[in-house]
């Protein structure tokens, strides 16, 4: 498919390639949506966006849908893959992430890429992605993508903001008890044939204080579960948030560290959270306290944690995330990957998990559906609702009764005078509806215009492309 096929209209002159008139129903079956049985597929509660337009909506496509090339990395869930395949897109799904050189090679060809937390979509990678219009992060974190570069180059980014939050919170609960009872060590000893019945340094969690750093989707879920087990909950967050149940916000990190028996980290990876827990912060924690990190590897200075555990200051820790993580299953987690790898592995009462906080059947299928739906909505209709790096813009769907309508999407630099110039171009037609919004340097305009002949579409597209402010133009019909 030529580069511009997602932008330049290529349908036959009679406008009837069969694709633009069919309405695909890619939504999952709502009949199963409330099941909690592990035997049945689980679907998360409705996300805030509406999902693909329903039956009366006209399917907008300026391209043969089988020409849309999608690369999915890191074992994206089958539920998501199916939604994309049902659209007729060409989907290549790989189980692992790719090293940078292979990623650069592959990304040149694709219109859509789906990743999880491992794949790094840096500016250096994205500058090779000449055909890419949208990125789907099939996870919560979007720190692995250069969001600014993507926006400035007209590439929308979507994620799933909360579909795995519960899974992370449940893992934390399991780990809190496991640490308090030194269960991982006892289990390891038994696997090695050693009977070691001890109560020394083993505790109930009832009445202990859990300190949550970052009281967002994960932190708040965890708060409720911890209180149900009789724990007292305090939390620290950069914004003022109402505590659930009887949880109490504390004014600063030090107050949290000195007031908690268990400290658990649920902040995003940003500049301010880099090495947020280092030597100083560990020394502020209670003697014999526990540390859990399922946020990002960069949040904890692991060398400092090793020292604090060796000294006995920290009685146990659980780590799910690391500064450098292997690219695929079966790869080694050793000192070649992270300098302290072997030393870390030798510590007692330390739970090490391979970034599985969100890895449950329920979470992965819900994320698969949610992100795939957002990608379909963006590719076919230009809807940016839920995008993390673009203004959120949507228009009601065109209907089958509106045959000569086209939808114009114009992503442009947010500078004065653009709307006037765009509307001079669109003004030769009837602008039925229009919405525009900006986010920083980038603005997104969507307009539905009527009485457009197929033969005029190319000129319309070209006139918008010729404007100096243009980042990307798409015309859907």
Ligand X SMILES: O=C(O)CCC(=O)C(=O)O
Ligand Y SMILES: NC(=O)C1=CN([C@@H]2O[C@H](COP(=O)(O)OP(=O)(O)OC[C@H]3O[C@@H](n4cnc5c(N)ncnc54)[C@H](O)[C@@H]3O)[C@@H](O)[C@H]2O)C=CC1
Binding-residue pattern over the window 78 to 117 for ligand X, x denoting contact by CB under 6 A = --------------------------------------xx
User: In this chain, which stretch among 29-37, 260-268, 396-404, 431-439 interacts with ligand Y, using CB under 6 A?
Assistant: 260-268
Can residue 139 be called a binding residue for ligand X (CB under 6 A)?
Answer: yes
Shortest reach from residue 323's CB to ligand X, in Å:
14
Which one among 358, 368, 382, 386 touches ligand X, defined by CB under 6 A?
358
Residues 6+ apart with CB under 8 A from 77: 138, 364, 365, 367, 368
Q: Which two tokens stand for residue 32?
A: 């199963």
| 325 carries an active-site annotation | yes
Binding-residue pattern over the window 197 to 236 for ligand Y, x denoting contact by CB under 6 A = ----------------xxxxxxx----------------x
Can residue 169 be called a binding residue for ligand Y (CB under 6 A)?
Answer: no
Can residue 141 be called a binding residue for ligand X (CB under 6 A)?
Answer: yes
Q: Which residue in the list 82, 227, 254, 325 is annotated as catalytic?
A: 325
How many C-beta neighbours within 10 Å does residue 371 have?
Answer: 27
Helical pair 361-381 and 165-180, crossing angle rounded to 10 deg: 160
Task: Provide DSSP, 343-362.
Answer: HHHT-SSEEE-SS-TT-SHH
In this structure, what is the dihedral angle of CA atoms 280, 284, 289, 294, given to the nearest 10 degrees?
A: -50
Can residue 172 be called a binding residue for ligand Y (CB under 6 A)?
Answer: no
Cα 378 from Cα 136, distance rounded (Å): 10
Q: List 318's β-bridge partners, or say none.
A: 292, 351
User: In this chain, which stretch among 4-12, 136-144, 198-206, 391-399 interacts with ligand X, using CB under 6 A?
Assistant: 136-144
| 355 carries an active-site annotation | yes
Ramachandran region, residue 294 (left: φ > 0; alpha: ψ -120 to 50; beta: rest): alpha
Q: List 438's β-bridge partners, or say none.
A: 443
Which one among 43, 208, 266, 405 touches ligand Y, defined by CB under 6 A?
266
Cα-Cα-Cα-Cα dihedral sign, residues 196, 199, 200, 202:
positive
Q: Nearest residue to ligand Y, using CB?
A: 216
Contacts to ligand X from residues 5-64, by CB under 6 A? none
Cα 395 from Cα 353, distance rounded (Å): 44
Cα 261 from Cα 287, distance rounded (Å): 9
Shortest reach from residue 161's CB to ligand Y, in Å:
7
356 within 8 A of 163, measured Cβ to Cβ: no
Residue 475 near which of ligand X, ligand Y, none (CB within 5-8 Å, type-dependent)? none
Can residue 389 be called a binding residue for ligand Y (CB under 6 A)?
Answer: no
| 343 carries an active-site annotation | no
Binding stretches for ligand Y (CB under 6 A):
140-141, 162, 164-165, 168, 213-219, 236-239, 266-269, 272-273, 294-296, 320-321, 355, 357-358
Binding stretches for ligand X (CB under 6 A):
116-117, 139-141, 164, 358-359
The catalytic residues are: 296, 325, 355
């Amino acid at each position: 498919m030529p580069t511009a096929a997602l932008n330049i209209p290529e349908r036959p002159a009679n406008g009837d390639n069969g694709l633009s008139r069919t309405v695909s129903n890619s939504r999952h079956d709502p009949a199963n949506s409330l099941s909690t049985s592990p035997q049945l597929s689980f679907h998360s509660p409705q996300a805030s966006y509406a999902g693909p337009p329903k039956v009366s909506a006209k399917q907008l496509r300026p391209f043969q849908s089988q020409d849309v090339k999608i690369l999915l990395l890191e074992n994206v869930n089958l539920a998501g893959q199916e939604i994309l395949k049902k659209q007729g897109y060409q989907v290549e799904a790989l189980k692992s992430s790719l090293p940078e050189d292979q990623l650069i090679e592959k990304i040149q060809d694709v219109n859509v890429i789906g990743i999880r937390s491992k794949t790094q979509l840096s500016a250096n990678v994205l500058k090779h992605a000449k055909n890419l219009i949208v990125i789907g992060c099939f996870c919560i974190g979007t720190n692995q993508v250069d969001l600014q570069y993507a926006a400035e180059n007209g590439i929308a980014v979507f994620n799933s903001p909360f579909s795995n939050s519960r899974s992370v919170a449940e893992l934390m609960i399991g780990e809190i008890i496991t640490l308090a009872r030194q269960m991982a060590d006892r289990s390891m000893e038994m696997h090695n044939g050693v009977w070691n019945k001890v109560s020394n340094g083993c505790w109930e969690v009832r009445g202990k204080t859990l300190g949550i750093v970052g009281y967002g989707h994960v932190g708040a879920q965890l708060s409720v579960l911890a209180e149900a087990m009789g724990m007292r909950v305090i939390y620290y967050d950069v914004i003022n948030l109402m505590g659930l149940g009887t949880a109490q916000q504390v004014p600063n990190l030090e107050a949290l560290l000195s007031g908690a028996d268990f400290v658990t980290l649920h902040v995003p990876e940003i500049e301010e959270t880099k090495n947020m827990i280092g030597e100083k912060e560990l020394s502020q924690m209670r003697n014999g306290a526990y540390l859990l990190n399922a946020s990002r590897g960069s949040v904890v200075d692991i060398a400092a944690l090793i020292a604090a555990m060796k000294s006995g200051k920290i009685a146990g820790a659980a780590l799910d995330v690391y500064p450098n993580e292997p690219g695929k299953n079966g790869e080694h987690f050793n000192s070649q990957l992270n300098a302290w790898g072997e030393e870390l592995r030798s510590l007692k009462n330390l739970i090490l998990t391979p970034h599985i906080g969100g890895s449950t059947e329920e979470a992965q299928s819900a994320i698969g559906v949610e992100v795939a739906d957002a990608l379909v909505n963006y590719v076919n209709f230009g809807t940016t609702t839920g995008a993390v790096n673009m203004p959120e813009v949507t228009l009601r769907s065109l209907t089958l009764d509106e045959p000569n309508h086209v939808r114009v999407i114009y992503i442009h630099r947010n500078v004065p005078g653009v709307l006037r110039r765009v509307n001079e171009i669109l003004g030769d037609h009837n602008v039925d509806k229009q919405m525009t919004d900006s986010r920083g340097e980038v603005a997104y305009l969507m307009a539905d215009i009527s009485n457009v002949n197929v033969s005029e579409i190319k000129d319309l597209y070209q006139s918008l492309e010729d404007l100096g402010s243009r980042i990307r133009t798409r015309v859907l019909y």
